[in-house]
Amino acid sequence: MGALGIALVVLMVAGAIFADLLSLYEPDRISPRDRFSAPSMEHFLGTDHLGRDLFARVLHGGRIALSVALSSILISLIIGVALGLVAGYGPRRLDNLMLLLLDSIKSFPTVMLALALVTLFGPSLTVVMVVVVLVTMPGYARIIRTQTLALKESEFVTAAISLGAGTPRILRVHIMPNVIGPLLILASMDIPVVIAIEAGMSFLGLGVRPPTPSWGAILNDGYAAIRESPWIVVAGGLPIIITTLGFTFLGETLRDVFDPRLDTRR
Amino acid sequence: MSLPTVNLLTIRDLNVRFATERGELHALRDVGLDIGKERIVGIVGESGCGKSTLINAILGLLANNGRIDGGRILFNGRDLTRLDPKSMQALRGIEIATVFQDPMGALNPVISVGRQMRNIQYRSSLRNKEKDARSVAMLQRVRIPDAKQALHRFPHEFSGGMKQRIAIAMALMMEPALLIADEPTTALDATLEVATIDLLKDLQAGIGCSVLFISHHLGVIAELCDEVVVMYAGEVVERGSTSQVFNHPNHPYTARLLECDPARQAKRTRLLPTIPGEIPDLRHRPPGCIFASRCADHRSACQAPPPEIEVDNGHFARCIHARHHDENSRSRRP
């Protein structure tokens, strides 16, 4: 399952990176003569209502989806880990303050939050990323905090302190390796969620601006013509499904890798 | 008091209090003890008598609600109660090292043993290769078979006894002047206990460090320690050399404790002897003798704090009944 996950992820990432080499057409080249053509050897996934090659648009859309997902998850991880460690290891009062902050952020419904931010700042990729960070970060911080709380009292941390380790060292050397595994698994499984958020916002016109290819935008384009030309929606939906499966399988595999107790090689 | 220069650690009149929701808890009262250079000193006492609090006070790791309320902890001539946190941290692991009770939890489960042993040496300027060589040498000293391979393994791949030996190896890595062993054998079975005691003795002699050994197992203390400190409810009730305290207990608590040792029972019995009564509430510590409420020899004079009487050379008991050996040849009460 791990191999399949990695294969699917590699497939999508490679497609995004080499989008220019792989596609025969420009992703936003309009050709009215080829409108609504079904998948063929010329257009692998067909064309949309403006005659744009869907294969090219899917590959270029992957760039948007993956770069938004990976970079915003990374930012979210960094902030979440920092806040979680402070909340878990720091004084009680700070912990309460952090929890209040995290719970308030988390209590915003995703769509409401997205709408509010788009209303304030206009639709853009940055807004999508901010939404993703705000949605995923509290979960990471919570996980880190809970685990840190438990580990803080563990004997090996006491032992390390009594053998002269300071707080930064305790956090970095003794607590981080214990908490980072589960977190990376969660992050890997969150990537599809993020891709869905990006696609959803673009579908609603709250994400990337129209000419830019995005999986959500492709879905939106095909939505109106779903009866006559269903391949447009398929072209938009298929990559979302493949990526979701890939990263979910990858997350499962990561879990086995990060837990030395499950190691069966020895 | 004996000459302070030959002592590695001297504790005098140490008082520790904890702020709790239901009043202040006087956890340690006027605790005093000496640990000579290269000596092994044992602390005995039942659960809750302040053994762990004493360790944490020495290490400067009291919980946030605890504070040292008077007294001195002199280590190599420096008063640890006045040391700033930075210097205290510099002391831990280098000059004072600690081994804890639970070998299962003492090692970080997700880091290889080699990494952990390297981590302990983070203040040393050696290269990683040299650090690893030192780790291997140390693991060999605690008799871990195939020490080189052991560096690459994780804690769950070792047995409980091996984990405890690895923890001991880590504590002694920097060749500290004082090793504090907090019930290191309690979680081990009897055979391993003996082996660990032998090992500790060897290592102590090899490194030339002093050991403060905490246990409630009297047999282990008798086997390992040069001197014994008996604690009861946060006070040192009796201290002296192991033979003095075990053969001529002068405090009634010590005497009763020795009677209760299952290993000393002459007859097979289903009912092990116990000391009636329980430890007084330390939030309302009685002003007089702390053991008075459970003592068969309780007099009205016990309402006043008892003096610490030197009954023999270096043998002290905090009881008004304590008499110098020459004056008093009474045997232990039945």
Among partner residues B61, B108, B110, which is closest to A161 by beta-carbon distance? B61
Burial (CB count <10 Å: 0-12, 13-18, 19+), residue B47: exposed
Q: Give per-residue pLDDT as tens, B67-82.
A: 999 899 999 989 999 9
What's phi and psi for B166, nearest 5 deg?
A: -65, -40
Residues of B in contact with A184 (CB under 8 A): none
Confidence of residue A85 (pLDDT cuts 50, 70, 90): very high
- The answer for B 75-134 residues in CB contact with A (under 8 A) is 89-94, 97-102, 105-111, 119-120, 122-123
Q: Are A164 and B119 in contact (CB under 8 A)?
A: no
Q: Pick from B200, B215, B242, B228: which is nearest to B34 by CA?
A: B228
B116 vs B113: CA distance, rounded Å:
5
State the pLDDT at residue A262: 58
Chain B positions touching A156 (Cβ under 8 A) are 105-109
Which chain A residues are Cβ-neighbours of B110 within 8 angstroms? 177-178, 181, 259-260
Q: Which amino acid is at A183?
A: L
Residue of A nearest to B120 (CA): A163
Strand-strand pairing, B309-312 and B315-317: antiparallel
Mutation site, A94, A152, A157, A162, interface B, largest B CB count within 10 A: A162
Mean pLDDT is highest, among A21-25, A194-198, B192-196, B208-212, for: B208-212
| pLDDT, mean of residues B123-145 | 91
pLDDT exceeds 50 at position B331 = no
Give the Cα separation of B280 and B256 in Å (integer). Answer: 17
Transcribe A119-154 into DSSP letters: HHH-S-HHHHHHHHHHHHHHHHHHHHHHHHHHHHTS
Q: Helix (H, G, I), strand (E, B), or coil: what is residue B26?
A: strand
The single residue listed with the structure tokens 């008004």 is B320
Cα–Cα dist A97/A93, whole Å: 6
Positive or negative: CA dihedral B296, B299, B305, B310 = negative
Smallest Cβ distance to A261: which of B92, B123, B156? B156
ipTM field = 0.77
Cross-chain Cβ contact B108/A169 below 8 Å:
no
Nearest to B98 among A156, A163, A165 (CB): A163
Cβ B105–A177 below 8 Å, yes or no?
no
Q: With contact defined as beta carbons under 8 Å apart, do A134 and A141 qualify? A: no
- Do residue B170 and residue A159 have CB atoms under 8 angstroms apart? yes
Please give the residue of chain A at the shortest CA–CA distance from B90.
A164
Q: How confident is the model at residue B326 (pLDDT cuts 50, 70, 90)?
A: low
Q: Residues A43-56: what's their mean pLDDT? A: 75
Say what the pLDDT of residue B3 is: 46
**Per-residue pLDDT tens for B225-278?**
999 999 999 999 999 999 999 999 999 999 988 888 877 777 777 777 888 888
- Across B66-99, b (16+ Cβ under 10 Å) vs e yields bebeebebbbeeeebbebeeeeebebbbbbbbbb
**pLDDT reported for residue A261:** 62
**Do A158 and B180 meet the contact criterion of CB atoms below 8 Å apart?**
no
* Average pLDDT of the residues in B306-326: 85
Q: State whether A155 and B97 contact (CB < 8 Å).
A: no
Residues of A in contact with B170 (CB under 8 A): 159, 163
In order of start, what are the domains of chain B with their CATH numbers?
A: 4-95+176-317 (3.40.50.300)
Of B105, B120, B156, nearest to A163 by CB-CB distance is B120
What domains are defined for chain A?
2-28+35-259 (1.10.3720.10)
* A260: pLDDT strictly greater than 70: no
Residue numbers in B near A154 (CB within 8 A) = 105
Q: Look over chain B and give the mean of its residue pLDDT values, rounded to a whole number.
A: 87
* Contact between B157 and A173 using a beta-carbon 8 Å cutoff: no
